[in-house]
Chain A
Amino acid sequence: MEISRDAYRAIEDIVGAENISDDPAFLDSYAFQWLAELVRPENSHYMPRPWAVVLPATTEEVQAIHRVCNKYGIKIKPISTGWYHWAAPMKDNEPTIQIDLRRMDKIISIDEKNMVAVVEPYVTCAQLQAEVMKLGLNINIIGAGCSTSIVASASTYFGAGPSSYYMGNNSDNLLGQEWVTPGGDVVLTGSLSSDCGWFCGEGPGPSLRGVTRGNMGSRGGLGTYTKCAIKLAPWHGAAVLEPQGPPPAYRLPIPENTRVYTIGVPSWDAFAETYLNIYDNEIGYIFHRQFNLAGADLAPALWLTYLRPDGTMNDVETASKDPEMQKLADEGRISFQIILQGRSVDEVKLQDKILDAIMAKTGAYKVGRFCEQDFAEFTHMYLQRLGHKHCNFIWVGGYMGSWMQAGIPDFVKNYSPVAIDGFYRDQKQSDGLVQCGGDALMGCGSSISGGGYFGFEQFVSYDPNDKASVQACVKHMYDAIDDCKANGIPLGKEYIYLMIGWPDEQIWNDFSKAPQTFVLHFQRKIKEHFDPRELGDRNYPWLPKGMGQPNFITQS
């Protein structure tokens, strides 16, 4: 869809001709997004094509672009590194400008003493981590890995990672934002707006965390965040990570103050018990159920092959038939990875003792082969930097995370067997999915700061190049919803994915049955204020007046 040349020229005047494009092939490179094939008509790999893509370099340019969009009624969709369909335009036939923030890539400041960094949107977690580690500090890298924008996870989408357990969720670690509202105003949040610098998202000054962020985030539906301040955590390792060995399985030597383990447990009850004890005793720096993304049946065959630079998938197939490998699969069937890091060697020794005591109590054990030096060093590298998260797609280039409901350990232990049985059933019914056993549940040790509350997603691997496989995955999404409903479990991630393909009315109809619809009405009010021309997309959810349960705000 075309928008007037006047609008194009107005934006061109702001950023220069070399920083705007409406070349169809260029636009397709933004429309093409992972997961689109599960929700778009005809299983197309493309989300709706933006009308133009623009590369601003400053907040002022972003603001000016927003103003042009207001003048001409063009939707605004920001993108940082762009690893998800959320970053693309959501609806066909809605003229949208994609604001690619890659030129805004500076670390503005690192306040070592107050443990705060201020960054622009195209600073990746890997870059920021590398810089702050030199100062004995670290950041919580989200489960999507270090390729992602720290502003994206802090300001606008989710924010949990393997280290959230120790370092907090990025929605909480957000200490202030510079926000260009869809209406074109620049809003500073928290202490920043009182000229007190970037140290507190809640004030002095307006605390807008609940407005701009919330649990899920507005996913590009409420304007553009041009800077954010992020809380840093202590780091007691080397100033610079020095990986060893050839690709792909780089290894990070384990210093004396650090331990890296894969821990197995005999049952889901024992898992919950072990988790709670670790949480209660406040040990651990990183907690993740990582390698199970390959599926419990195949994980040892895959990862032990991955250690070899010349290993191939054919080797994985051969290894998977080895009885020793099957034994190892059973040993690590319900397992997770934990990294202990002490401020001193004595401290890590103490954590080690506590962990031993917990394992003795709950029947947990160290999975021998995965705790050997080569694998432990590989695990160390993988989890400290999270630079191999593209392995989520290792089987065939497509995976969809179903389930992922978070809760206390008892909640997770109860839904995990349901998720496993359902996935196993779907694998048996169709060869459209990678047959990796029913348990491909993977997830961070915490979905909120400090732990105690977490969830797992099922790694449903499908081939995006095979329509039948894509459709098998879509069927699994609906099956997972049915499994949830049948077992009284709230719906998981597949549900919010499927919504992308729905018309507004269908979404609103579902929203209107939510337990606290006033939240969605409150968000409508926010939208009316900050986005009067509705230039943000529906990733910022709201309900039209009068829909849903009447309550104090619905009718106003």
Chain B
Amino acid sequence: MALEDFRADAMRCTRCAYCKWIPFDHVKSWKYAKGCPSIEAGKFHSYSAGGRLVTALSLMDGRSTVTPAVEDSVFKCTMCGLCDVSCKLCRYDMEPLAAMSELRATLVEDGHVPAQVEPILKSLRTEFNMLQKPRAERGNWAKELGLKDLSKEQAEVVFHAGCRYSFDGDLGHVAKASVKILKQAGLDFGIMGENESCCGGRAHTMGHRKDMHTRATHNLTAWKKAGVKTIVTPCSDCYHAFKRLYASTEGSEIQVLHMVEIVDQLLKDGKLKLTKAVNKKVTYHDPCHLGRQGEPFVAWNGVEKKIFGQAVAYEPARPRYNGAFGIYEAPRNILKAIPGLQFVEMERIKEAAWCCGSGGGCKETYPDFALSTANQRLDEAQSTGADAIVSACPWCERNFLDANQEGASKLEVLDIIALVEQAL
């Protein structure tokens, strides 16, 4: 695709501003009606999906050029996709998230890369992770666990821990808890250990598509060699990369499962029993990449056609990603199955969830923006009376932990798989 392919989206944007708010039917208060972290931070219309469509149009038509202000407005966005859901509430011919992704990629191609990104990209290219850690330490979390090493052995299932769970000392226990559950369920699986590589999904959302392609090629080749048919991951960023981005850009057909899907199924099948009480009141934060962006990929290669004279349809019918089929129930089923646990919902949930602030490379590129976005989520979580906020993505959890360190809330930040482990 090229930016020009999104001209029609821009021309057909009505400037309705739905993309700044959660789907209006779900608005329950003044405070938590807001949906777009970017416009909350940047304030000018350009910091919204609709605004970026105009930016794209204006640049394409030579009415403006890429200035530092334009760069800031294009990159200071978590690519959370809330705007996409809200826009598509009433439209079948708009793809604002894809258009924003294209705008980023175009700027990157033209050499507009925020300076903060350089060392992160260097780490990705040399150490295969974005956390600027030595590649050799990647498999350390699994050292004593005696897991199959799929760089040498074969298995149909690979457990992919992801960069955060591999390197982040506060979160590594989640990877361990995950493999414990998989073992208990009797699954034949392995890991790539030191040879596991970043999924590249974050690089892609930051506009560095070639970097994702390199990572994807590495991963897909390694999995093929090991006979892998299914990837299991506790990380929602990786999940989205494998399920949606690898499928759309690399043609990958490998089955991708998040740990919550596995646990939910094991509970349903009676293969996993949660017996220990966890006496906490918790709320659940839907990670964008598991929730509204976690919908199944449907291959499509078509063109626009007009029906009824001027209405827009596609030949063949274009799949509709509007957040309806994200992974929402699996984590909720799990939480409801934990004895002693009291589960309460926030106002903005499922496809209408407020982003944690970490996505789109913002944790790395705009740390203050990432933290202020997290603050707003923690504030909402606290308003439910919960003791803890639970999520299913290490990037959300890291950002919440960091925000708490700056005094955002006293809420415990928990990973859902770690909670399951407690209840085993």
Q: Which A residues lie at the B interface, using CB under 8 A? A: 19, 21, 23-26, 28-30, 32-34, 45-46, 53, 55, 81-83, 100, 102-103, 107, 123-124, 126-131, 145-147, 240-241, 243, 246-248, 250, 252, 298, 309-317, 320, 381, 385-398, 427, 431-436, 461-466, 469
Can you name the residue of chain A whose Cβ is closest to the Cβ of B70?
A25
A-B contact pairs, 21 of them (CB 8 A): A25-B65, A26-B73, A46-B63, A126-B24, A147-B24, A243-B25, A247-B322, A310-B325, A312-B314, A313-B307, A313-B311, A316-B313, A387-B23, A389-B90, A393-B12, A393-B16, A396-B311, A397-B93, A435-B309, A463-B310, A465-B11
Chain A residues near B51: list those with CB within 8 A.
29
Task: Point out the residue from B21, B69, B85, B320 that lies within 8 Å of A312, measured CB to CB.
Answer: B320
**Do the beta carbons of B64 and A435 come within 8 Å of each other?**
no
Q: A83-B17, A395-B311 are in contact. Are A465 and B7 (CB under 8 A)?
A: yes
CA distance A313 to B92 in the complex (A): 7
Indicate if B386 sits at the interface (CB-CB under 8 A).
no
Contacts of B57-110 to chain A: CB distance below 8 A: 57-59, 63-65, 67, 69-70, 73, 85, 87-94
**Do the beta carbons of B89 and A388 come within 8 Å of each other?**
yes
Cross-chain pair count, CB within 8 angstroms:
248
Q: A381-B25, A396-B12 are in contact. Are A28 and B18 (CB under 8 A)?
A: no
Contacts of B320-348 to chain A: CB distance below 8 A: 320, 322-325
**Do the beta carbons of B33 and A53 come within 8 Å of each other?**
no
Can you name the residue of chain B whose Cβ is closest to the Cβ of A305?
B92
Besides A128-B30, A427-B309, 14 other CB < 8 A contacts? A25-B70, A126-B21, A129-B27, A146-B27, A247-B322, A248-B322, A309-B322, A317-B313, A391-B90, A392-B90, A393-B12, A396-B93, A398-B14, A432-B310
Task: Point out the residue from B33, B50, B322 that lies within 8 Å of A127, measured CB to CB.
Answer: B33
Chain B residues near A29: list those with CB within 8 A.
44-46, 50-51, 54-55, 58
CA distance A107 to B11 in the complex (A): 34
CA distance A127 to B347 in the complex (A): 13
Q: How far is the CB of A436 from chain B (nearest CB, A)?
A: 6
Contacts of B1-47 to chain A: CB distance below 8 A: 7-8, 11-18, 21, 23-30, 33, 43-46
**Do the beta carbons of B311 and A469 come within 8 Å of each other?**
no
**Do the beta carbons of B23 and A390 come within 8 Å of each other?**
no
**Do the beta carbons of A395 and B18 come within 8 Å of each other?**
no
Indicate if B185 sits at the interface (CB-CB under 8 A).
no
Can you name the residue of chain B whose Cβ is closest to the Cβ of A23?
B69
Can you name the residue of chain B whose Cβ is closest to the Cβ of A252?
B25
Chain A residues near B73: list those with CB within 8 A.
25-26
**Do the beta carbons of A312 and B317 come within 8 Å of each other?**
yes
**Do the beta carbons of B28 and A240 come within 8 Å of each other?**
yes
Q: A107-B30, A131-B30, A248-B88 are in contact. Are A434 and B310 (CB under 8 A)?
A: yes
CA distance A395 to B30 in the complex (A): 31
**Do the beta carbons of B91 and A394 come within 8 Å of each other?**
yes
Q: Which 3 A-B pairs have the closest CB atoms?
A: A387-B24, A397-B12, A309-B324
Q: How far is the CB of A473 from chain B (nearest CB, A)?
A: 10
Indicate if B318 sits at the interface (CB-CB under 8 A).
yes
